Amino acid sequence: MKHFSVLMFSLLLLPCVLFAGGLEDADYTTPDSWSQHLTADGFKMQAVQHDILGGSMDMSLTTRYRYLANDYANDQNIYQYLRMRYSDAKLGSGTVSGALFFRAAHDIDGRNGKHWGDNRYYFYDDILDAETDDNESASRLYQGYLKFSGVVKNTELTLGRIYVDRIDTFQLDGADAQLSFLDSKVKLFAFGGRPVSFYVDTDDDSVYGGGVELAPLNGLKLRGVFSSLDISDDTKDLQKVRADYSFNGSSVYGEYGQVDSDGYYKLGGVYRYNPTKTTLSVNYEELLDSIGKENGYYVSNPLTYTLYPYGDYKKVKVRISQGITEHVVVGAGVEYKNANGYELDNRDYKKYTAYLDLARIPSKNTYISFNVDYWDVDSTSYGKSDKSVTFGGQLTQVVSDNLDIWLGSRFERFEYDVEDDETKDWIQTHYLGCQYTLNNRISITGDVSLEKSEILERDSTDFDQNLIAEVWLNISI
């Protein structure tokens, strides 16, 4: 899992899309409304463009109210987000663009300095409470940068709080520079800065690196990256190479990387055969060595998941989907993991999946998906074995140009809860929501979800069911 700050950024800038397997197929692309199929951590952005200083700018304010409750406790939080984007301002022979994404938050209930046994809010003594101890407004700058494209011929320079995406994604206070040759078939790049964490002090930490990107043939991209990470007085070197090739709506990829001398590789691809509306995807990954287990700083390290702190394993995943008509897709899949570790989240399992997708049935604005999974999970000293059948489904209905509604149920296994720092054996979530767009400036999103978690049942039945209700008000200025 990516670091929580990256996750939050992704959830807030993009809708949390719950695509079914078949509906990802190019022949079954659904309208924009499907991409707005939300859970409680997403919202539809409105954007009103303004011409300012030769460029185009849009800005929005979003207020989010969140209520959490179980039979033991409840908690209320409110968040305020500011998002600005600026693009296409002319400077010399190039352009300047930029973005700002900021958040502040307030815990309505507070903590009141109490402890377990006399504080009904203790269960939700979460990361927001920890933040407000040192940062009363819980303010976060997710992104704030200026990008200079072509101001100096064949270059691109980004400065500020940025996300650097060079195989891995880093959130840095720093710079990312790129120099292009031969009609952008050859690109050299370098980046560096201080890693961003909203939880720990990273003043003495650094990340820097560089590499090359090649495009020798149409559809083929080759990348090689070297990164050096100095985190909590421990230095790690990452070397990675990756190849991606796209052809006729299909694609294949291969990636190899090392953390110091410990390696992993990934292979896979998606093949689409349009005459029969068949799609096959295959993915294989292998972690050759146990990476990072000896370093205790991984819990608070903002680059934890970049450094793969897991025991060695092999995993293969195969999925096939078949279009029956223009409205119906059926599919099946299998996933195997062979792990040498004994942790809760690194053990042997087999998973078998089947799904059915219905597009524009019974009406042209209805999208439905059903799935069933059979799990066969081996036991370890950290968790029991499990052979179980689970079901899920989702429905999106476009009621009008202004109103979408959705409902569904999903099942997740080995979910890591960053805020509570624990791994949950399984989670079943039922959700219901809607999105109403008043006009091109104002939209309202509401979402209610009920989460049932096995691991919390072991502590108390007061904890096993958790209600989350959210309301978002988004205003484009």
- Number of domains, the chain: 1
Instruction: Indicate the length of the chain as a whole number.
Output: 477
Using alpha carbons, select from 43, 41, 78 the residue that is nearest to residue 60: 43
Alpha-carbon distance 38 to 33, whole Å?
10
Mean pLDDT of 367-393: 77
**pLDDT computed for residue 22 by the predictor:** 35
**pLDDT computed for residue 269 by the predictor:** 97
Alpha-carbon distance 77 to 121, whole Å?
12
**Inter-residue contact 332 to 371 (CB < 8 Å):** no
Mean pLDDT of 185-206: 92
Q: Are strands 55-69 and 74-91 parallel, antiparallel or unpaired?
A: antiparallel
The H-or-E segment that residue 130 falls in is helix 127-134
Range from 26-40, 182-196, 212-226, 238-252 carrying the lowest mean pLDDT: 26-40
Alpha-carbon distance 28 to 327, whole Å?
8
Cβ-based neighbour number of residue 439 at 10 Å: 10
**pLDDT computed for residue 208 by the predictor:** 96
Alpha-carbon distance 160 to 63, whole Å?
25
Report yes or no on whether pTM surpasses 0.85: no
**pLDDT computed for residue 112 by the predictor:** 52
DSSP 3-state helix, strand, coil percentages of the chain (rounded to 5)? 10, 60, 30
**Inter-residue contact 472 to 445 (CB < 8 Å):** yes
**pLDDT computed for residue 27 by the predictor:** 36
Alpha-carbon distance 402 to 434, whole Å?
10
Residue-averaged pLDDT of the chain? 80
**pLDDT computed for residue 147 by the predictor:** 97
Alpha-carbon distance 353 to 281, whole Å?
14
pLDDT tens-digit series, residues 450-461: 988 765 555 556
Exposure on the CB side of residue 228, measured as CA atoms within 13 A: 9
* Residue 276 in this model has a pLDDT that exceeds 70: yes
**pLDDT computed for residue 428 by the predictor:** 82
Q: Are strands 366-377 and 386-398 parallel, antiparallel or unpaired?
A: antiparallel
Token digits of residue 86: 């600026």
Alpha-carbon distance 435 to 400, whole Å?
11
pLDDT tens-digit series, residues 172-182: 999 999 999 99
Mean pLDDT of 381-407: 79
294: left (phi over 0), alpha (psi -120 to 50) or beta: alpha
Mean pLDDT of 201-213: 93
Q: What is the DSSP string of 176-220?
A: EEEEEETTTTEEEEEEEEEEP-SSS--TT-EEEEEEEEE--STTE
Q: What whole-number percentage of the chain has pLDDT above 70?
A: 75
Residue scoring higher pLDDT (259 or 155): 155
Mean pLDDT of 415-425: 51
155: CATH: 2.40.160
Q: How far is CA 358 from the centre of its chain?
A: 26
Using alpha carbons, select from 311, 261, 252, 259 the residue that is nearest to residue 284: 252
DSSP 8-state symbol, 114 = -
**Inter-residue contact 236 to 307 (CB < 8 Å):** yes
Using alpha carbons, select from 405, 227, 371, 409 the residue that is nearest to residue 306: 227
pLDDT tens-digit series, residues 280-308: 999 999 988 776 655 444 445 667 667 76
**Greatest Cα pair distance in the chain:** 68
Cα angle: 461, vertex 464, 469; to 5 degrees: 130
User: Which residues span the domain enclosing 33?
Assistant: 4-476
Q: What is the DSSP string of 396-422?
A: EEE-SSSEEEEEEEEEEEEEEETTTTE
- Paired with 470 in beta bridges are 66, 447
